[in-house]
Amino acid sequence: MPGKDSVLGDYYYREAKRQGYRSRSALKLLEICQRFRIMKRGEAVLDLGAAPGGWLQVACRLVGEEGLVIGVDISEIEPLPFKNIVILRGDARSTELQESIARASGGMVDVITSDMAPKFTGIHDVDHGRQILLAGIALDLADKVLRPGGKMVIKVLMGSDFEAFRREVRSRFSDVRIFKPSASRDSSSEVYLVCRGFRGSLQ
């Protein structure tokens, strides 16, 4: 008999397809945004690790045409039928890419989301370490382009460096929650840090 994870995985996969999303992961962001009121109409959102585009679809719908969504990924993202979207292809660590983000946003965004993930090896400590490094890059970008009072959603894998990273995040935001969306597999150590009240750049 298939396990609970696989039955639920299939359910969320079909549900995401039914709603027209490119990824199952889109349902995770939707749940986070609804529960924590993360995105509003008219806001500017930066989505890191955006391919194939499920989170971009959610963000574009929530901010509406008067908002702006900037999607960044190393991999190609097929065009999406929204007017309020800018897609940048590149590594979130690169200075050039970070300059392009600053230009596209006009300086500041209201929300940063990061679903960035490394190529998983299956060795938990290695995957956890790489994931935390990517989460750290997202946090550094907040210092550069997130407006004071802004919000952030960051994917991490639980592991030995998690607490130190969470402390780092808490020094920058007034409210930080750990959340595991329903569409996230029970067997996965993935959780999201949902952060509100950015205190402003530490630089």
Ligand X SMILES: C[S@@+](CC[C@H](N)C(=O)[O-])C[C@H]1O[C@@H](n2cnc3c(N)ncnc32)[C@H](O)[C@@H]1O
Catalytic residues: 155
Question: Which of 27-66 are b and which e, b meaning 16 or more Cβ less than 10 Å from the residue's Cβ?
Answer: bbbbbbbeebebbeeebbbbbbbbbbbbbbbbbbbbbeee
101 touching ligand X, by CB under 6 A:
no
Asked whether position 116 contacts ligand X by CB under 6 A, the answer is: yes
Segment interacting with ligand X, rule: CB under 6 A, options 6-14, 78-86, 111-119, 178-186: 111-119
Inter-residue contact 152 to 84 (CB < 8 Å): no
Tokens of 151: 């919000």
CB atoms under 10 Å from CB of 195, counted, come to 27
Does position 53 interact with ligand X (CB under 6 A)? The reply is yes
Tell me whether residue 192 or residue 198 sits nearer to ligand X (CB atom). Answer: 192
Does position 71 interact with ligand X (CB under 6 A)? The reply is: no
The answer to the question of residue 134 lying near ligand X (CB under 6 A) is: yes
Question: Contact between 54 and ligand X (CB under 6 A)?
Answer: yes
Of the pair 8, 117, the CB lying nearest ligand X is at: 117
Binding site for ligand X (CB under 6 A): 22-23, 25-26, 49-55, 72-75, 91-93, 115-117, 134
